[in-house]
Amino acid sequence: MKNLEKAFALFDAYNRNSPEHLIHEGTDYPVEYFYAVKLYEWVTKLAPDASEGLLLASRAQHIGRWEIARNSYPEGRVGYLKWRTDLSKFHASKAAEILGSVGYDSETIERVQQIIRKQGIKADPEIQTMENALCLVFLQYQYDNLIGKTSEEKMINILQKTWAKMSDPGRNMALSLHYSDEGKRLINMALNAG
């Protein structure tokens, strides 16, 4: 078994400990395991010749996310940003620990951590690919569920921010996804606003 497969197996085993589950097409999945696999799938669609570092980062982007709860931080934007920063460091550290255990060199580990932390996003095509893939996972698997729980104004704002994070390849893929009628309506409003 190659290092890549060993790392994937360990990432997946870790993410299968996610206490939250979801049902997709009749199958029960631990949430973080499901999203890690879907993120990896989007990365490989967007970048069929993706580097090993990008593939590894895609499978470990949110590893163990449940271990740092959002409600352990203050409400509001400042608390949210601090939570996201701490999560990013945690994911990068956990990925490094696992990658080291299967024999990856420090250069590869550092690259994976850089992608997970999204350092230099605007100048780094691989990190932009990861951002596109993250947005596409949201749009494909979480967006329609969020509509019922969020005001129209806030949904439009979320969509506009999501769109701004993506580059053209991500946006083109996003436009090809299947959405509910309400999902389509909100996307049209968000993209045509202003």
Domain limits for position 56: 1-117
The domain boundary, picked from 117, 144, 178, lies at 117
Tokens of 37: 């696999």
**By C-alpha distance, which of 31, 81, 58, 19 is closest to 136?**
58
Same-domain status, 14 and 94: yes
How confident is the model at residue 193, as a pLDDT? 75
- CA 37, distance to chain mean position in Å, is 10
- Give yes or no: residues 26 and 113 share one domain: yes
CA angle 25, 27, 33 (to 5 degrees): 105
Read off the pLDDT of residues 13-54 as tens digits, 9 standing for 90 and up.
999 999 999 999 999 999 999 999 999 999 999 999 999 999
Question: Could you report the per-residue pLDDT of 94-110, keeping only the tens digit for each?
Answer: 999 999 999 999 999 99
The proportion of the chain whose per-residue pLDDT surpasses 90, expressed as a percent, equals 95
- Structure confidence at residue 175 (pLDDT): 96
Strands 21-24, 27-30: pairing is antiparallel
Residues 31 and 16 in one domain: yes
Residue at a domain's end among 117, 135, 161: 117
pTM: 0.94
For residue 194, what pLDDT is reported? 54
Residue ending a domain, choose from 117, 135, 158: 117
Average pLDDT over residues 133-141: 97
Contact assessment for residue 59 and residue 42, using Cβ atoms and an 8 Å cutoff: no
Residues 108-117 have pLDDT tens digits of 999 999 999 9
Question: Total structural domains in the chain?
Answer: 2
- Find residue 34's DSSP bridge partners: none
